Structure 1
Amino acid sequence: MQTNLRERIPGLILLLAAMIFSIFPLLSMLSAALQPQGSLPLGISWPSDPQWHNFVDAWKVAEVTPLLVSSIILVIGVVPIAALCATMAGYALGQLQVWGGGLVLVLLIFGLALPKEATIVPLYYQLQGMGLLNTRIGLILVLIGTFMPFAVYWMRAHFVTMPKELAEASSIDGANRWQAFIRIQIPLAVPAIASMCLLLFLWTWNTFLQAIVLMNDPSKRTMAGALQNFVGQYTTDVVLLNAGSLLIMAPTILVFLVFQRHFVKALIAGAVKG
């Protein structure tokens, strides 16, 4: 028992350090958001008179309501389509051994290594030529294409670990590949799909560069685009900037807390199978 405890101590220390490292910035932002407007907060110090109305003022200054609606529309447009395409592509690459799958896998790896900054200018002119610039449809297509390399690679990593005997047993029972995919593979892939959808939601919600460059209308951008409303020509309201940042981060933190068990389950399953 003592040996097991000694083996766990380094992991517990590392976990505690990671928790402190993650919580400390949030506490710093919260303390800064509750300071009087116009002040310059330094460090973490709980104010004697917390200014909770700063969150309401930040909501109004940043005009968050239309950006919240726009972010929800983008999430609804991106996450289901990207999850469906990635799941089918991952199944084809991981289970069906389709012709040219190795080449597709190499292209996906190149897509993962390609920075967003390198593609933003070509995407701008491409959407302009297609008449989709400054439209949510254009931004949705860009985000789906941007996330697809990781999403497909994620789902392929799951399906490649599934036993081949499942497909063989389903074919003996008379099921075709589509029926085996829907009735057998999809239920087993729920943790991987849920965790992938969580990541897609977080990335879509926090999209900043593509939304700023490809959307001329500020009301059609994402919640992250609201941060620029706190930056003036000569000054920046640090207090409202921290309050607005917490408002933008709140939905992502809440969604992650609700669905974290699916994410952890997928990671554990992948580690055990690997």
Structure 2
Amino acid sequence: MRVSRGETAMNYVILGGFALFALAPVVTILLTSVAPPLGEAGGIHLGNFAEAWTVGGFGRSLGNSVVVAAIVVGLSLVLAILSGYAFGTMRFRGSTALFYLFLLGLMIPAEATIIPLFFDLRALGLTDTYIAIAMPQVAQSVAFGTFWLRAQFRAMPVSLLEAAALDGAGPVQALTRILVPASRPAIVTMVVLVFMWTWNEFLTALVMTPSGRLRTAPLGLANFQGQYTAETALLAAGAVIVALPTVILFLFLQRHFIRGMLEGVAK
């Protein structure tokens, strides 16, 4: 079907409008982050970032977020690959019921379980630790990862596994040498999404660290906002600092991420 020039132009106009709508808040925050603080002359003030970094203590909070994200992404990726492989390629008694049990992790909101979980972890002496922050997020991420990678592995041609079995490859070798390399876009998509969710998580870190010793980046930004409500330039600079790791990761992995998302939609 041929598309007329008018339809093509209208498509570009609509897409351009959506792009402007999405980019306007980002551009506003970037411009505000380099605006002059109160009482100073105009111009571009890149020193806002250094001042926000020092005053807000973002070095420590970002470090805590990096540790938590590494734990959550690493454990979730390994467990989701193994469970997705089992549910996607194997048939065993109770597999359907067990898979739906995994999906409960996607259906039950974190707000419904965070308070009972806090009391359980406090009884075990695990509050104010990286484990208390990371483990609830691992559970939620494994549920999503199992659902995501099960669909990916089920879509792989059965002939690949049959050929691997004929060549003498066991289940572990078939997974690590054939399915995982062939599923790289889907795995990268999961890594990016889990990292973004973990990095932006606020409630779990807030509840599980009552002392504030392991304050993550979103908590550090919220605390910084409470101290410098009137300094919009410093607040915007702090927001840019907190969001920068996610942006950098997406820019490095965007090709695989977009490909994985498109393959997921096709499935």
Q: Return the TM-score normalized by structure 1.
A: 0.88
Match of 2:129 in 1: 135
Please, what is the CA RMSD of the aligned residues? 2.4
- The AA in structure 2 aligned to 1:110 is L
CA contact (8 A) 1:134 1:217 kept: yes
Residue 83 of structure 1, aligned match among 60, 74, 77:
77
Q: How many percent of aligned residue pairs carry the same amino acid?
A: 34
Kindly state the Cα deviation for residue 101 of structure 1 after the two structures are TM-superposed: 2.1
Q: Match for 2:248 among 246, 254, 260?
A: 254
Structure 2 residue 197 is the aligned partner of structure 1 residue 203 = yes
Unaligned runs of 5+ in 1: 40-46
CA distance in 2, matches of 1:97, 1:17: 48
Residues 5, 255 of structure 1: alpha-carbon distance in 2 compared, 3 angstrom cutoff: farther
Match of 1:16 in 2: 16
1:55-105: CA deviation from partner (whole Å, max 9, x where unpaired)? 111112210111121111112211111101001111111111233221133
Distance 1:116 1:260, change over 3 A: same
Secondary structure, in 3 states, of the residue corresponding to 1:218? coil
Q: Which deviates more, 69-78 or 234-243?
A: 234-243
Contact 2:128–2:213 (CA<8 Å) still a contact in 1?
A: no
Could you tell me whether the CA contact under 8 Å between 1:191 and 1:265 is conserved in 2?
yes
Q: Per-residue deviation at 1:232?
A: 3.4
Determine if contact 1:230/1:240 at 8 Å carries over to the other structure. Answer: no
For 1:263 and 1:5, locate their aligned partners in 2 and report how far apart those are by CA, in whole Å: 31
Question: 158, 167, 179: which one pairs with 1:185?
Answer: 179
Matching residue within 208, 217, 232 for 2:226: 232
Moved more, 242-251 or 95-104: 95-104
Contact 1:29/1:242 (<8 A) preserved: yes
Q: Equivalent of 1:149, from 136, 143, 146?
A: 143
Aligned to 1:170: 164
Aligned to 1:43: none
Structure 1 outlier segments of 4+, above 6 Å: none
Cα separation, 2, equivalents of 1:213 and 1:192: 32
Is the contact between residue 185 and residue 256 of structure 2 (CA under 8 Å) also seen in structure 1?
yes
How many pairs align?
Answer: 266
For 2:227 and 2:214, the matched residues in 1 are separated by 23
Give the gaps of 5 or more residues in structure 2. Answer: none
In structure 1, what is the Cα distance between the partners aligned to 2:140 and 2:236?
29
Q: Shift of residue 37 of structure 1?
A: 2.8
Structure-2 residue corresponding to 1:215: 209
The answer on whether the counterparts of 2:105 and 2:139 sit within 8 Å (CA) in structure 1 is no
Deviations 1:85-131 (A, max 9, x none): 00111111111123322113322333212222112101211111221
Structure 2: distance between partners of 1:101 and 1:268: 28
Rounded Cα–Cα distance in structure 2 between residues aligned with 1:7 and 1:88: 47
CA distance in structure 1 between the aligned counterparts of 2:241 and 2:18, rounded to whole angstroms: 23
